[in-house]
A = this chain, B = another copy of it.
Amino acid sequence: MKARLSASRERIIAAALGIMAEHGYAGCSVAAVAERAGVATGSVYRHFPTKADLFAEVFRTASQREVDAVARAAALEASAAEQMAAVVETFSGRALQSPRLAYALLAEPVDPAVDAERLVFRRAYAELIAGHVAAGVASGELPPQDPELTATALVGALAEAMVGPLAAGVAGPETIPALIAFIHRALGVSP
C-alpha cells in the first residue's frame, strides 16, 4: 500500500518529465500529467499540494541529474582547462540530446514558483564550476580572479550560447569547440 502510493508518486513525476521532454512546460496541464501517469486528475493532489509544488520537484529532480552528469564528467579530468572542456561537452551534448527538455529547464516561461527552482539549478552549476576555478587559481594554473563571479558569468554564457542551437534543433559542429575556446580565454588558461 505504501509501495503503491510512492509508486504513483513516481509515475506522476515521470509523466510530468516525459511531457516536458515532448511538449515543454506549456503542455503540462495537471490533467495531461494525470492521464499519462494513469491516475485521475484529483489524485495528483494526494501527492502534491499544488501544481507548482509538483513541478518544483520535477525541476529539482531533472536538474540534479544534469548537474550530477556534468560533475561526474568534470571529475575525471585533471586540469581546470580539461575540467571545463568536459563541463561544456557534457552540458551541451546532453542538452542537444533532449532539446525540448533542456529548453524547458533553461529558458521556457514557467510559474514564478517553478522559476525559483531554476535559479537553484543555475546556482548548482555555478558552484560546481566555481570549485574547479578556485582549485585552478590555487594551483596557479589560472590567474587570480573571483571564482564565484567567473562561474556565474560562465553559466550565463553557456546557457545563452545554447539557446540558439536548442531553438534551431542542432548546433553546427564548430560551436562546441568555439565555446570551449571562449571559456578557456575567459578563465585565463595560458595558450
- Hey, which bits of chain A sit against chain B, CB under 8 A? 26, 109-112, 115, 119, 122, 143, 145-146, 149-150, 152-161, 163-164, 174-175, 178-179, 181-182, 185-188
Chain A to chain B contacts (Cβ below 8 Å), 14 pairs: A109-B109, A109-B110, A122-B160, A149-B175, A149-B178, A152-B160, A153-B157, A153-B161, A153-B179, A154-B157, A157-B157, A185-B185, A185-B186, A185-B188
Judge whether B164 and A152 touch: CB under 8 Å: yes
* A141 to B: closest C-beta gap in Å: 14
Considering the chains assembled together, what is the distance between the CA atoms of A186 and B163 in angstroms?
20
Can you tell how many copies of this chain the complex includes? 2
Q: Judging by beta carbons under 8 Å apart, are B160 and A156 in contact?
A: yes
Q: Is the CB of A159 within 8 A of B160?
A: yes
The listed residue (B143, B152, B185) touching A161 by CB distance below 8 A is B152
Q: Which residues of B contact A152 (CB under 8 A)?
A: 160-161, 164
Closest to A114 in B: B109
Q: How far is the CB of A88 from chain B (nearest CB, A)?
A: 11
Write out the residue numbers on chain B whose beta carbons fall within 8 Å of the beta carbon of A156.
156-161
Residues of chain B within 8 A of A26, CB atoms compared: 112
Q: How far is the CB of A92 from chain B (nearest CB, A)?
A: 12
Please, which residue of chain B has its CB at the minimum distance from the CB of A187?
B185
Instruction: Known A109-B111, A186-B185; judge A149-B161 contact (CB<8 A).
Output: yes
